[in-house]
Amino acid sequence: MVYKKEFRKSSYIQKRELGSGTYATVYLGICTENNLYVALKKIKINPTEGVPSTALREISALKALNHPNVIQLIEVIHSDVFLTMVFEYVEYDLKEYSNKFGFTQFLLDQLVSGLQYIHSMKIIHRDLKPQNILVGSDGILKIADFGLCRPMHLSVPELSNEVVTLWYRAPELLHGKKYSYEIDIFSIGTIVYEMVTGKVFLQGNDNSSQLTLIYNVIGNRKEFEKKLSEIHEPLFKKVIIGCCCISRESRWSIEDLRNMTYQSKYIISPYDR
């Protein structure tokens, strides 16, 4: 089944800036063909180094992905100065939407569905955090920002450990050990905690302090229970405990997560308002 919106290649009118990062600036745009809003991710091309590897990685991954809970890359426009990636426009990031509307369990179900699809395509996202998960005014969630993703079907001698924003990083990354899909599962647990409480799960300042927090909280049953005491919904507690295991082998699989959210009687859709 094809989930992508229909856009014909055309020109875009650049509007206000939506945000910026190390390599790119994102603008709100309007497609002149149909007057629909788009997001224009403009990357300045270094005349010596060319297009950043993160952009090439993101383009390659998104051309292969097609799912209602994965951001749609409409087209790529290349000039001598800029590489512009044209995305469907999604109004909120996960934190903004959750703070304004709630519906956390419905969002969790979509997040897990999108990640299960990404993993089924042999891709690790490697940078899951609330800012990289978008939600439209219709309540539909989109996993975005694939600049650090890694296709696992490629033969890579060693995977980088400099991935995932610190507070959402699994312990095996902090230790510099080998890792796989389980790092995304750990990130899901930290995101669920933040969605429900409005607070970052464990807020270290560097790898060392983050590891210390992980062992002092997750590795200590009383401290972990205390940390989760303000979460009253059993589903959320189960998900956090299942995802945030120190040992990657003990973590839930994406199938475990999907079964838990799918079977839950508590999924709330914005259409139930």
Please enumerate, by residue number, every residue annotated as part of a binding site for ATP.
Answer: 41
The total of other beta-carbon atoms located within 10 Å of residue 266's CB is: 14
What is the distance between the alpha carbons of residues 207 and 13, in angstroms, rounded to a whole number? 42
What is the distance between the alpha carbons of residues 47 and 196, in angstroms, rounded to a whole number? 45
What is the distance between the alpha carbons of residues 226 and 217, in angstroms, rounded to a whole number? 9
- Catalytic one among 109, 127, 145, 184? 127
- Annotated binding-site ranges: 41
* Residue 127 annotated among the catalytic residues of the structure: yes
Task: Identify which of 247, 255, 239, 252 has the alpha carbon closest to the alpha carbon of residue 120.
Answer: 255
- Are the C-beta atoms of 199 and 230 separated by less than 8 Å? no
- Are the C-beta atoms of 192 and 108 separated by less than 8 Å? yes
- Are the C-beta atoms of 180 and 124 separated by less than 8 Å? yes
Residues found in the chain: 273
Residues classed as catalytic = 127
